[in-house]
Amino acid sequence: MSSFKSFDIAGSGMAAQSVRLNTTASNLANADSVATTADGVYKARHPIFEAVRAQLAMAGANPESNPAVRVTGIYESTAPASQRYEPGNPLADANGYVFAPAVNVVEEMVNMISASRSYQNNVEVMNTSKELLLATLRLGQG
């Protein structure tokens, strides 16, 4: 039944956006996790979105009629960690430096707002689809 496809599509969008929200939450929570070495420091994580097309086409399904979006992976940012001089910190290295993750808090907040708006859009699509489907079920009843 084709009307249920809207639910799959909106559902995949919501799933993808919630992954994005999760990575943003993780990045914000670790924005101040300092480490002794540049390698050991937390790296900002970001999801990669992809429209589902090629993969389903290979499986023999109709590519245009299938949902929608998926997260193909989560990459770790390669931005260099910033050095801070904190000789009193027990994590400081021999020269008195600690390494802070290259998490841009402003960028993450913007990401969070964008993700939550997109999530809301998908919820709205799902609600409207549900209403239309229920109206279709009541067809001919009055």
Partner 1 sequence: MPLNLDQYVGVHATALDVRARRGELIAKNLANADTPGYQARDIDFRQAMARAAGDKTSGTPMSTTLTTTRAGHIGGTATADAASSPDLKYRTPLAPALDGNTVDAQIEQAAFAENAVRYQATLTFLNSKFRGLLTAILGG
Question: Tokens 């008195």 appear where?
Answer: 96
Distances (CA, A) of 44 to 7, 55, 57: 32, 28, 33
Q: Which of residues 1-40 bind partner 1 (CB under 8 A)?
A: 2-3, 5-6, 9-10, 12-13, 16-17, 20
Site string for partner 1, 94-123 (x = CB under 8 A): --------------------xx-xx--xx-
DSSP state of 63: G
Angle at 17 between CA 66 and CA 33, to 5 degrees: 145
List 50, 89, 92, 130, residue binding partner 1 (CB under 8 A): 50
Which pair of tokens denotes residue 58? 């290979």
φ, ψ of residue 137 to 5 degrees: the values are: -65, -30
List 34, 44, 68, 103, residue binding partner 1 (CB under 8 A): 68
Return residues touching partner 1 (CB under 8 A).
2-3, 5-6, 9-10, 12-13, 16-17, 20, 49-51, 62-65, 67-69, 114-115, 117-118, 121-122, 124-125, 128-129, 131-132, 135-136, 139-140, 142
